[in-house]
Structure 1
Amino acid sequence: MLIHSLETFLFRQRPLVILAFAFFTAVLGFQASNIHLDASFNKNIPLQHEYMQTYVQYSEEFGGANTVYISVCDKEGDIFNPEFFEALKGVHDQLFFIPGINRTLVNSLYSPSTRFIEVVEDGFAGGPVIPADFQADKQGLATVKQNVEKAGIVGRSVSDDYSCAMVSSQLLEKNPDTGESLDSIALANELEKQIREKFEDENISIHIIGFAKMIGDVATGAKDVVVFFAIAIAITSLMVWIFCRSLLLTVLPIVCSFMAVVWQLGMLNTLGFGLDPMSILVPFLVFAIGVSHGVQMINSIGKRVHEGMTAREASCASFVKLLIPGGIALLSDTVGFLTLLNIDIGIIRELAITASVGVAIIILTNLFLLPVLASYIDFDKQFKAQPEGTHDHIWRAMSSFTKPKVAYSILAVTALLYVFGYVKSQDMKIGDMQAGAPALHADSRYNQDTFLITDRYAISTDILKVIVETKESGCTYHSVMNQIDQFQWRLENVEGVQSAVSLSSVAKVVNTGFNEGNLKWRSLPRNTNSLVQSTARIETSTGLLNRDCSVMPIILFLEDHKAETIERIVNEVKAARDELQNDEVTFRLASGSAGVMAATNEAVSAAQVPMLWYVYGAVVVLCLLSFRSVKATVAVVLPLFVVSTLAQALMTYLEIGLTVSTMPVIALGVGIGVDYGIYILSTMVESLRNGSSLRTSYFNALKERGSAVLFTGLTLAIGVSTWVFSALKFQVDMGILLTFMFLVNMLGAIIVLPALASILWRDNNKES
C-alpha cells in the first residue's frame, strides 16, 4: 500500500528527509527574503469585462480611472494670496516631474488648457485663467479671480468656498524611467515626500487621494500585519503549550507551520509574484492552518505513546492514520482556494495562488516532516498526558448529541438558523457599503482627505463615463447631439448623480454666448454651421471629444460609490441606452473610477454563486474519495453550507459588502472549516465500520480528536480576533468574519455533524 511504502521510506531515511527539508528551507528562505510588496491598479479590475474593454480602448484618449487628485488648501479660507499661489505652482510643477505621472494630463489653474471665455461687445474674448505675465500682487490676484469665475470652474478646479484649488493627473501604466509596470506604492511615497512634505505648512494643507495613494496607505498599514503576525504566533504558542505542556512540543508545530510560510513566500518570489497589500493576510492563514494540523499530529502521537508505543512507533502510526484525513482536508483547502482562479480579477487570482501554494506545502511540512521530527522526541518526558479518562465525562455528555430526540432539536435549531441566515443574506450588497476607501478606517488621513474634497468641491471624484460612439464629425449633426443631450438629461435626474457634463451641454452654453448671453438660447442649434460654431472652440484636452468628433463621453459625477448608488445609476444607463440608442449613436459603458467599480461589482456578483459551487464541489468530490460514503460527505458538507449562509447574513448585519477583499473569505472559511469535520468523521466512520454504535463511535472520535478540534478552533479564532485593532478596515472585517467562521465551523463539526449522523446512520443508533 502506498501509505505504508511512504512510511517505510520516511522513517528509514529520517536524517536524509530532515536534511532535504533543511536545504529547501534555506533556498526558499533566501527567495522569501527578496519578496516585495506589489500593487497594480489593473490587478484590481476585471479586464475582460465589457465595461473594461471600453475603458481600455479609450483610456489613452479620455483618461482611465487611475487618477491622483491633490487639493491645495489655504487654512485661512481664501486662496487669493501670494503664498497660496506660490504653493499651488510648486505642487503643479512638482507633480509634473514625478515618474509615472501622465504629464500631458496634469491639470490645475496653472495649466494652459484651463481657459476662460467671455462674451464681449465684439464677440468672444478669452485666454488662460492664469496669464503668462501673472504676478501674485493685488491686481494680478483680482484678475485671476475674475477669470476663475468667467471660466465656470468653481466647484471643479477651485472649491466652492474659494479655500482650495485642485491639481490632478492621470497615471501611466508603465514607469517611463524603468519601462516596468508602475509601482503604486513607490508613487504614493513620492507624493508624500515631493508634495505633502515640501508644501504643507502652518498656512497650507495638502490633501491627496487616488488609487495609488490609497494603496500606499494600505501598504503602510499592512506593515502592522507583521506585528499582528507576531502576536498571533505568541498567542498560538501559548495555547499549544497549554495543550501539551511541553516547550519542545510547542516549538515543533510552530516551527513546521512557520516553515510552510517561508516556503510559500519563497515559491511566490520564484514564480515571479510579489505580495499584494490586499493579500498580505494570507501567510497568517497558512500558518494557522499549519498549526491546526500540527496539533492534531502531536495529539495523536502523544496518545499512542501514552498507550505504550515508542516515539518512533507512535509517529509511524500517527502518520499512517492522519495522512488520509489530513491530506484530504488540506487538498480540499487547496482545491477550494484554486476555484478562485475562475474570477477574472487579478488580485483574487493572486490570492488564490498564494493561499493554495501555502496550504499544499503544509502537507509536506506538517504531515511528513513533523512526525519524522517527533520520532526523535522522548514523549515520556515531554508530553504530559492527562490521565486516561480525564475528559470522558465531557465527551460522554457531548455524545448525547447523537440521541434522536437531542439530534432532532439540534437540527430544528440549525434549520431555523439557516432560514434566518438565508433571508438575511439576500440583503447582502455587492460592492462598497461605506463612503471613502473601504480598505481604510473613516478617520484615516486618506478618507479624511476624501471627505474634505467631496465636501468642498461641487464635483465628485466618483466618476462614471458613458462613451458615445457615432460617425465622423458627429458633433456637427443635430440628431447626434440631441441624442446625447437627451441621454444626459435623463441621467442628471437619477438619484445619486451629482452633476453631468458632455460636449452637448457645453455646446449649449457656447451657443448662449453667441447670442448675447441670453439664456433663452441655451439650446442646441439645428443649423449645422451654428453647431460647428458652438463646438469648434472646445479642445480635445477637455476630454469631451476625440480628434474627429466621432467619440464623445458623457461624464457623470456621482454622490458616492456605494454599491446601491452605482447599481441604480448603471441600471438607468442601460435603460436609457436601450431606449435612445440607434444606428447613428451607440452608448457604451463605462470608464471612470465608478465605471471600474461597476465592472468589479458585476464580476464579483457573477462569480459569487459559481465560486461556492466550485468550492463545495471540490469538497464533496474529495470527501467522496476519502470516505467512499455519500452519508459521510453530507455530514461534513451540510454544516459548512449553513455556516457560509450565516456568514453572509453577518456581512449584511455589519454592513460589509461583498467586494474583492471580502469575497475570498467565504472560500477561505469553507476550506479551513472542512478540517474539523473530516478529522472527527474519519474516526467515527472507522469505529462504525468496526461494529460500534453511533454514540460509542462519536464518543471515541471525541476522545481521540475532540481536544485538538476544540483547541484549534479556539486558537485560530483568538488569533484572528486581534485583527479588530488593525489600522486597516478590510483587515478588521476579515478578522470578524474569520473569527465567526472558525468558531461556528468548529461548533458545527462537534454539534451539528453528530446530529446529522443520528439521522444518516439510523441503523447504528439503536442503543442510543
Structure 2
Amino acid sequence: MKNTTFGKVDAAFAFLIRFRALVVAAVALVTLVMGYLASQIEVKTVFSDLLPRNHPYVEVNQRFKQTFGGSNMVSIMLETEQGDIFNPVVLGKVQKLTVDLQQVEGVDTYQIISLASKKIKEVRASTEGVESRPLMWPDLPQGETELAALKAAVLNNPLVYGPYVSTDLKATLVTVDFSDGNMDYTRAFNQLMKLVEEARGDGVEVRIVGEPVLYGWVNHYLHETLTIFFIAVAALVVLLCLITRTWHGTVLPLLAGLVSAIWALGAARLMGFHLDPLVVVVAFLITAQAISNSVQLIARFDDETRQGTPSAAAAARASARNLFKPSMLAIVADAGCVLVVALTPIPLLQKISFIGTVWVLTIAISALVLTPVMLSWFGAHQRYIHPVNINPLLMRILGLCSAIVTTRWRYAVLAMAGVVFVVSGLYAFNLKVGDANPGSPILWPDSSYNRDAAQINRQFQGSDRMFVVVAGKEPGALREPEVLSSMTRFQKYMEAQPEVGGSISLADILPQVNRVLREGNPMYQELGKSADENSELMYMFVSGSDPGDMDRYADADAKNGAVTLFFRDHQGETIRTAVARVRDYVEQHPVKNAEYLLAGGLVGVLAAVNEVILAGQIEAIALALLVLVVCCTITYRSTVAGVFFMIPVLLSNTITFSYMAWQGIGMNINTLPVVALGIGLGVDYTFYIVDGIRENLHRSHNVERAIVNALTGPGKGVLITAMTLITSVVLWHFSSLRLQADMGVLIALWLFISAFSALFIMPALVYVFRPEFIVGSKRHPIEQAEPVLVG
C-alpha cells in the first residue's frame, strides 16, 4: 500500500515537473489576479465585529444604547495644575471642547455631556415653582459672583459633583458617545487628538480614553506594524541565507510565504472581509508555516543531491514524494484547528478563522507544489553564496539530540517533560479570561492611553460604564416606590464592590427634586411615598428641560430605566464579579412590577465577549484536539497515533497558558486565534520526525538507527525552521502595541516547545514505548520499501 501511494504521489509530481513551465505560469497568473484583489483589502478595526451574535447582553446594549449610552463612549478630562476649575480659562476650554465635539466624525451629538452642555442641570425652587435649568449654558459665568454661584451649584448637586467634577475640584469630565456603525476610527481619532491638543496648555492637562480612542491608537501604529512585519521577513531572509548558503534555500521559502499571503488576502477581499491590524501577528505566523514547509522540502532536496541523485528534477521529485504525507497532515491539521474558531459567535473571530483557514490551505500550492517545481530548475551541484558554514554546528546539535535520545538520558528527558507538564498544567489554571490588568492590554502600561485611564479613574468614579436596564412590565412602572427603592438598594449593593466607583439612576434624581421643594431641607431628600408623588417629581424635573434630557435615566413613558455603574477597570475578574453580583441581587430581591436586564455599555459588552470567549476557549481547544486526533488516526490508521501526537500539543499548551498567567496575558478575543493555531503549530515538527523514523524503518528494522537518521535528516529542517522563525518572531517585542509583542513571544515559545518536543521528547517516547503505528509489530511488520523509479 505504501509503495502504491508513493507511486501515485511520485507520478503526480513527475507530471507537475514535466510541465513545470505551465505550472509556474498558472500560479503566477492566479497570483497576479489575487494580488490585485489583495491590494484593495482594507486594514481597519470595526467595533461591531467584536460583539457576539445573539448574546442577551449585546441585544440589551443594541436596544437601549441610543438612550442610556453605548459601548463607544469617550471620556475627556481637563485638569488644572493650580487652583480649581472654576476660572474663565478652564471653563472656556470646556465650552469650546463641548461645541467642537459636535463636528467629530461618528459623534452622537445628543450624547455630549459636560458642564457646558444643556444636559447637566440644576433644580431650583422659585416663586413660580420648581425649574430645571443648565448649570453653564449657553454662556460662561462672568465675574467672581457668577463663578462662586456655579461652584456652589456643583457642590450641592450629587449628579455633578463626583461624576463630572472631581471631589478636589481640580478636574472636570466631558463625555461623548459614538455610533456603533462603520465609523472611521482613524479620522475620529485624529479629530479628537487635535481637539485635545488645542485644549491643552495654560496650566491645563487634558486626558482622553474610550474604545474609539484605543482603536485609533491601534490604527495610528499601523505603519509601525507593517514596518516590523517587513523587518521580520527581512530577518528571515538573512537567516535563511546564512544557514542554507544557497539562493534556492533563501528565495524559495520567501516565495512560498509571499504566494500564500497574496492568495489568502485576495480570497479575503473576495469574501468581503477586511484585515484587522491586531491580527497581523497571526498573519505572520501562518506565512511562517508556509516558509517552514518550504524549508523542509529544500533541506530534503539538498540531502538528495548530496547523496548523488542524478538530476535536480529527480531530487525535487524525491523530496516532494517523501515529505508529502507529513506536509499535508500538518496543513490539514493546522487548517482544521483554525477553522474551529469560527464556531465562536463573534464576527471578528469568524472572519479571522475563514481567512486563516484559506491561508493555511494555500500552503499546499505555494510550498508543496511550487517549491519542488522551482527546485527542479536548480542544478544538482550546489553553489554556495557565502563562505560561512554553520552546518557543522547544526550537526553537532542534532548529534547531541541523538545521543540523549538513544542513551539513558532519554528517561531524564521524559521525566523532566512529565514534571513540567504537571507543574505548568496546575499553574495554567491561573489564566484569566478577559483583560488581566487595569487599562488596555493592547497597549503597554506606560502608554499615554493607559496613563490617561489611570488618572481619570483616580479623579472620577470610573471611565468604564455598564448600564443595567430596569424594565417595567407596564408604562409608569418606574414611578412605583417599590421599583425606585429597589433601584436605590441595588446601587448601594453594587457600590460595595471596590472596582465600582459609583452609580447613577432616576432614583438619585427624584430625592434631589423633593429636597428643593422643601427649601433645601436634607431631611426631605427621599423618594415620593406614592407613584403619583414620584410622577409629580419627575414632571417638575423635566418641565424646564429639553426633549431627551431624561433619556439617560428613563424613557418617555417611564417604563424602562437604567442604573449606570462606573468601573475603575474592566479586568475579566472585575466584570465577572459585577455580573455575578447583579444576578445575586436580582435573584434575592425580586420586584413585582419590573425586572433587571443585563447589560449595556462597554463593560456590558465586554461581559458578553468574556462569556463567549470562556465557552469558546474550551470548545475551540477541545475541537482542535479532536481535529488533530482524527487527522492522525486517519493518516496512520491507528487511534494510538491520535493520542500519541496529542502529547506535544498538551505540553505546549500548558506551558504557554502558564506563561500567559505568569505575565498577566488574558485569554481574550485577540489571543484566542493564536491559541487555536498554536495547537496545530505544537505538533507540526513532530510529523516530520515521526515520518522520517517510519521512512528509515522501511529500509532497516533498526529503531535506534532510524531515530538517529530521522534526527539528522528531517531534524535538520526542523532546527533550521525553528531557529529562523523564533529569531524573526521575537522582533515583534519591539512593537508599540503590547498585544503584538505578547503574541510574538507566545509564538516564539510555541515554536521552541514544538521543536524541543520533536527533537527530544517524541523520539525518546518512540525509543521507549515503540508504538506499533511507527515501528510495527510481529502482527503488522513494517514493509521494506522497493525502489521508486525517478527517471
Q: What is the TM-score when the length of structure 1 is the normalising length? A: 0.93
Separation in 2 of the partners of 1:414 and 1:392?
Answer: 24
Return closer, same or farther for 1:311/1:70 CA change in 2, 3 Å cut-off. Answer: same
Question: Any residues of structure 2 matched to 1:188-267 within 5 Å, and which?
Answer: 188-193=189-194, 195-267=195-267
Separation in 2 of the partners of 1:512 and 1:117?
Answer: 10
Separation in 2 of the partners of 1:669 and 1:169?
Answer: 40
What's 2:98 paired with? 92
* Residue identity matched to 1:692: H
Asked whether the equivalents of residues 39 and 185 of structure 1 are also in contact (C-alpha less than 8 Å), the reply is no
Asked whether the equivalents of residues 78 and 207 of structure 2 are also in contact (C-alpha less than 8 Å), the reply is yes
Question: Any residues of structure 2 matched to 1:26-425 within 5 Å, and which?
Answer: 26-119=32-125, 124-134=130-140, 136-152=142-158, 153-174=160-181, 181-193=182-194, 195-309=195-309, 310-382=311-383, 395=398, 397-403=400-406, 405-425=408-428
Q: Secondary structure at the match of 1:165?
A: strand
What's 1:541 paired with? 549
Q: Secondary structure at the match of 1:267?
A: helix
What's 2:788 paired with? none
Q: Secondary structure at the match of 1:548?
A: coil
* Residue identity matched to 1:260: S
Shift of the alpha carbon at 1:271? 2.1
Separation in 2 of the partners of 1:725 and 1:146?
Answer: 50
What's 2:488 paired with? 485
1:444 aligns with 2:447: yes
Separation in 1 of the partners of 2:139 and 2:390?
Answer: 92
Separation in 2 of the partners of 1:135 and 1:411?
Answer: 77
Separation in 2 of the partners of 1:601 and 1:686?
Answer: 46
Return closer, same or farther for 1:395/1:455 CA change in 2, 3 Å cut-off. Answer: closer
* Larger CA deviation: 345-354 vs 673-682: 345-354
Separation in 2 of the partners of 1:202 and 1:358?
Answer: 53
1:671 aligns with 2:680: yes
Question: Any residues of structure 2 matched to 1:556-635 within 5 Å, and which?
Answer: 556-635=565-644
Cα deviation code 1:574-610 (max 9, x no counterpart): 1111111245221111112111121111111111111
What's 1:656 paired with? 665
Shift of the alpha carbon at 1:89? 2.2
Asked whether the equivalents of residues 648 and 683 of structure 2 are also in contact (C-alpha less than 8 Å), the reply is no
Separation in 1 of the partners of 2:355 and 2:771?
Answer: 42
Cα deviation code 1:63-111 (max 9, x no counterpart): 2111122223444453333333332222112211223111111112222
Asked whether the equivalents of residues 257 and 366 of structure 2 are also in contact (C-alpha less than 8 Å), the reply is yes
Asked whether the equivalents of residues 68 and 208 of structure 1 are also in contact (C-alpha less than 8 Å), the reply is yes
* Larger CA deviation: 42-51 vs 606-615: 42-51
Separation in 1 of the partners of 2:637 and 2:393?
Answer: 34
Cα deviation code 1:592-650 (max 9, x no counterpart): 21111211111111111111111111111111222223333333221111110111111
Shift of the alpha carbon at 1:487? 2.2
Separation in 1 of the partners of 2:481 and 2:196?
Answer: 47
What's 1:13 paired with? 19
Q: Secondary structure at the match of 2:598?
A: strand
Return closer, same or farther for 1:529/1:566 CA change in 2, 3 Å cut-off. Answer: same
Shift of the alpha carbon at 1:211? 0.7
Question: Any residues of structure 2 matched to 1:422-501 within 5 Å, and which?
Answer: 422-457=425-460, 459-470=461-472, 471-501=474-504
Separation in 2 of the partners of 1:523 and 1:82?
Answer: 35
Q: Secondary structure at the match of 1:500?
A: strand
Asked whether the equivalents of residues 398 and 716 of structure 2 are also in contact (C-alpha less than 8 Å), the reply is no
Q: Secondary structure at the match of 1:586?
A: strand
Separation in 1 of the partners of 2:471 and 2:133?
Answer: 30
* Residue identity matched to 2:241: W
Separation in 2 of the partners of 1:60 and 1:707?
Answer: 60
Return closer, same or farther for 1:116/1:759 CA change in 2, 3 Å cut-off. Answer: same
Return closer, same or farther for 1:505/1:424 CA change in 2, 3 Å cut-off. Answer: same
Q: Secondary structure at the match of 2:43?
A: coil
* Residue identity matched to 2:87: N
Shift of the alpha carbon at 1:214? 0.4
What's 2:703 paired with? 694
Q: Secondary structure at the match of 1:106?
A: strand
What's 1:177 paired with? none
* Larger CA deviation: 570-579 vs 491-500: 491-500
Asked whether the equivalents of residues 282 and 354 of structure 1 are also in contact (C-alpha less than 8 Å), the reply is no
Shift of the alpha carbon at 1:354? 2.7
Shift of the alpha carbon at 1:469? 1.0
* Larger CA deviation: 37-46 vs 375-384: 375-384
Separation in 1 of the partners of 2:594 and 2:251?
Answer: 69
Asked whether the equivalents of residues 640 and 748 of structure 1 are also in contact (C-alpha less than 8 Å), the reply is no
Shift of the alpha carbon at 1:689? 4.5
Shift of the alpha carbon at 1:300? 0.8
What's 1:178 paired with? none
Asked whether the equivalents of residues 513 and 541 of structure 2 are also in contact (C-alpha less than 8 Å), the reply is no
Separation in 1 of the partners of 2:723 and 2:199?
Answer: 50
Shift of the alpha carbon at 1:758? 3.0
* Larger CA deviation: 160-169 vs 589-598: 160-169
Asked whether the equivalents of residues 483 and 591 of structure 2 are also in contact (C-alpha less than 8 Å), the reply is no
Q: Secondary structure at the match of 1:169?
A: strand
Cα deviation code 1:337-391 (max 9, x no counterpart): 1111011222222222232222211221111111111111124133699999997
Cα deviation code 1:271-317 (max 9, x no counterpart): 22111122122221122112211110111111111111211111111
Asked whether the equivalents of residues 243 and 390 of structure 2 are also in contact (C-alpha less than 8 Å), the reply is no
Separation in 2 of the partners of 1:155 and 1:380?
Answer: 79
Return closer, same or farther for 1:390/1:651 CA change in 2, 3 Å cut-off. Answer: closer
Structure 2: gaps of 5 or more residues: 543-547, 778-791
* Larger CA deviation: 497-506 vs 510-519: 510-519
Asked whether the equivalents of residues 402 and 757 of structure 1 are also in contact (C-alpha less than 8 Å), the reply is no
Cα deviation code 1:241-276 (max 9, x no counterpart): 222212343122112212222222222223221111
Shift of the alpha carbon at 1:512? 3.1
Return closer, same or farther for 1:136/1:362 CA change in 2, 3 Å cut-off. Answer: farther
Q: Secondary structure at the match of 1:105?
A: strand
Shift of the alpha carbon at 1:129? 0.7
Separation in 2 of the partners of 1:558 and 1:105?
Answer: 19
How many residue pairs align between the two structures?
Answer: 758
* Residue identity matched to 1:375: S
Separation in 2 of the partners of 1:231 and 1:133?
Answer: 55
Return closer, same or farther for 1:513/1:86 CA change in 2, 3 Å cut-off. Answer: closer
What's 1:722 paired with? 731
Return closer, same or farther for 1:482/1:186 CA change in 2, 3 Å cut-off. Answer: same
Separation in 2 of the partners of 1:456 and 1:683?
Answer: 64
Q: Secondary structure at the match of 1:381?
A: coil
Separation in 1 of the partners of 2:538 and 2:625?
Answer: 58
Cα deviation code 1:636-675 (max 9, x no counterpart): 2211111101111111111111111122222122222221
Separation in 1 of the partners of 2:427 and 2:230?
Answer: 36
Separation in 2 of the partners of 1:596 and 1:388?
Answer: 54
Asked whether the equivalents of residues 136 and 150 of structure 2 are also in contact (C-alpha less than 8 Å), the reply is yes
* Larger CA deviation: 485-494 vs 638-647: 485-494
